[in-house]
Structure 1
């Protein structure tokens, strides 16, 4: 009753009437300004918002075929999603293959929002695990560490190391906690800088931040920290979950020589979040300062290629002190470790396999893009199935021909490049420019993203292998079967 009496007395008093009138006036002004801003945002042609111009009618997105089925439309959407790989940069650049990266996670209360399902916090941890696995898959001789921002502090979640199992286990433990407090970018950057301080000159130093808040509680001047990171050549990438933040923009610009498009991305949805985060798995191109530093003097790095042993009685490994019958022996000090790649706990020698070194080189010598086979060439070609998986190609039909005619004749506003892209969507054939073999789009994805070799060129033998004219091959890498017999006796220098 007290609350209702106070509201009744306030509504009946004359002061409340004046207050109500002033509130109505302010609300009216704000409403008119909002309507004016909305009117400015509306398109002058279609009557909708500017970001809705590409979607005029909902039936333009997904169209039914003659039988009323959406299978063909969904298949086109899936294929268009796969075709995004064709727009990836394939230019051979000088990159650092021995990377040292610190992953910074925002664990503040802003991550409790549920605009991303199930929440920002849970989805960020899930994608962070996928990022760690993909990072070590593409960079097996690199190292990674994890830092969390919570309650205005930065805490180390996992040390800088090359074992992905330890990092995944540390992030899995975070799922039991709840986000709280505010983040501190300066504390996280200073901790990352301290962890990367002892990185040798042949390794790159990087920081990837998943930032969901719009504020940062810093104890000092963060601009001085940004200047220090730039002087120490530490690259910073930011994945924003809410909106663009000015300090994050300056941070990415200063530490990446003005490159903002590829280093700072604000996500649109869950799928875009995953794409922007996984883009950091590719090593960044070397800057002018790094190239000048590398030309001033080359440094040899000693690596050991141990052989696997299987013992009759279990013994302790030096890395985790666990009883195991199998493992790898360091060629320098004969200390046993359980997994590779890693650093020897006794002598500090980098222990890898020859396959790890070979997988790291695909960033320097990327596989050439395969061009799409159009319908005129597909009709005259004698190839009816994929060279790799033997999956039969789609044959041109009346529906395909009519669809192509409708696209050409009915879309006068579509450019020639877009029209050509729509025509080649129906073929599903991709040809290697070196061996001239045809592949399906699934084999195209597998060859460029996982295998990093052309099955047709590999089947042709050494004479059929051709490298890029810009990047020279570093030499043949021996297979894993010969690694133990040739390189297990002593470490080598590269």
Structure 2
């Protein structure tokens, strides 16, 4: 009797199946390797389930932690006890303090803390100007126990990202000085007009700060100047940073992973509530026409030659892009869509009501075990559509379609 020889096609198919199975195993092992260090795999990490509440450590179930982090995806407008939407400061002045010290070399975030945070800050800068076109932003680097001004107050997200990218390429170096950074931010924000916000956002990856003096004296000056400090720690919690945030009415958070960092920073794109010290003042804005010329002329924002520019209707100086603040006369230069995006924060859509009944999302037609119901049209939306409506559309699409048919 002859020996059975399987056909070549069968052998090739079996080899492909084994190869695919091996790939799945390798991918699973790689994910496990990145999830935690090898020496941590036999532990439950129960310390990660401890949270600080009013100075007391409390144990929190893992499910509660997941629910808490998921809440950042639903950054919808808040209402007061009477159901009214709070007034917001839509004209913002923000200083971002970015830690570029040796502590940002750690590789617990991939590829390291520095580049992971840089990607999240780029998304934050773009989101700030998308949500608030009349935002003025400045960047400060913390390294070598000094604070370095990366960019002046301005309204060009591309320019801020480009300048920050150049600094990141130099690499992390030395130690961070929180006080030096706060003093520089204080000098930038203290003279801002009372109808604008004064905010500092700190991205900190060190476990210590090297300060030349008493940082509590700097804290007192921040409070007197009505400056709000918000901070996100990539390293473990640092008490002095948390204390400064609490004293100035800001938010302090400790990030758990890269996605959590992006969600925490995205929460700062929504304009903050109106503060009691702020004064409502009518602000003059201009709608500059864009002009093209055959001969180049200097722009006032960069002092470079350009053939295409926006002409200020008040002083007739030229700027490269809008929205911006005219360097000559200080007039806010915007377009009608910019004003529309700002107006959405003053009259946002109503909060949707969480509903646990099974239904299909009226927008994307996905099946849901629970969702969000519009209080006006009573249609159901999934989590993603609810977030998109409140952050981007600013209108219920069903209610808007009904209004358009009338």
TM category, shorter: 0.7 to 0.9
Aligned partner of 1:198 among 185, 191, 198: 191
Structure 1 residue 152 and structure 2 residue 145: aligned?
A: yes
CA distance 1:162–1:54, change in 2 (3 Å): closer
Q: Distance in 2 between matches of 1:86 and 1:133?
A: 19
Aligned partner of 1:122 among 109, 115, 119: 115
Stretches of structure 1 lacking an aligned partner (at least 5 in a row): 1-37, 44-49, 56-76, 379-383, 395-424, 465-494
Q: Deviations over 1:207-250 (max 9, x none)?
A: 11111111111111110000010011000011111122121122
Aligned partner of 1:435 among 372, 377, 386: 377
Q: State which drifts further: 452-461 or 429-438.
A: 429-438
Q: Distance in 2 between matches of 1:173 and 1:447?
A: 36
CA distance 1:327–1:197, change in 2 (3 Å): same
CA distance 1:373–1:300, change in 2 (3 Å): closer
Q: Distance in 1 between matches of 2:47 and 2:214?
A: 37
- State the 1:439 CA deviation: 4.1
Whether contact under 8 Å (1:100, 1:205) holds in the other structure is yes
- Higher-helix-fraction structure: 1
Q: Distance in 2 between matches of 1:53 and 1:385?
A: 30
Q: Distance in 1 between matches of 2:275 and 2:361?
A: 44
Corresponding residue for 1:444? 386
3-state SS, counterpart of residue 461 of structure 1: helix
Aligned partner of 2:222 among 217, 229, 246: 229
- State the 1:177 CA deviation: 1.3
Whether contact under 8 Å (2:69, 2:260) holds in the other structure is no
Alignment of 1:458-473 (within 5 A): 458-461=400-403
Whether contact under 8 Å (1:90, 1:367) holds in the other structure is no
- State the 1:87 CA deviation: 7.0
- State the 1:317 CA deviation: 3.0
- State the 1:445 CA deviation: 2.6
Whether contact under 8 Å (1:210, 1:241) holds in the other structure is yes
CA RMSD between the two structures = 3.1
3-state SS, counterpart of residue 128 of structure 1: helix
Q: Deviations over 1:408-451 (max 9, x none)?
A: xxxxxxxxxxxxxxxxx436x54322133444544333211211
Aligned partner of 2:257 among 269, 280, 303: 269
3-state SS, counterpart of residue 268 of structure 2: helix
Aligned partner of 2:369 among 426, 429, 436: 426
Q: Distance in 2 between matches of 1:169 and 1:228?
A: 32
CA distance 1:226–1:308, change in 2 (3 Å): same
- State the 1:363 CA deviation: 2.7
CA distance 1:51–1:363, change in 2 (3 Å): same
Q: Distance in 2 between matches of 1:54 and 1:219?
A: 41
Alignment of 1:236-247 (within 5 A): 236-247=229-240
Whether contact under 8 Å (2:175, 2:209) holds in the other structure is yes
- State the 1:320 CA deviation: 2.8
- State the 1:453 CA deviation: 1.5
Structure 1 residue 337 and structure 2 residue 347: aligned?
A: no
TM-score normalised over the length of structure 2: 0.77
Q: Deviations over 1:188-213 (max 9, x none)?
A: 01000111122111111111111111
3-state SS, counterpart of residue 173 of structure 2: coil
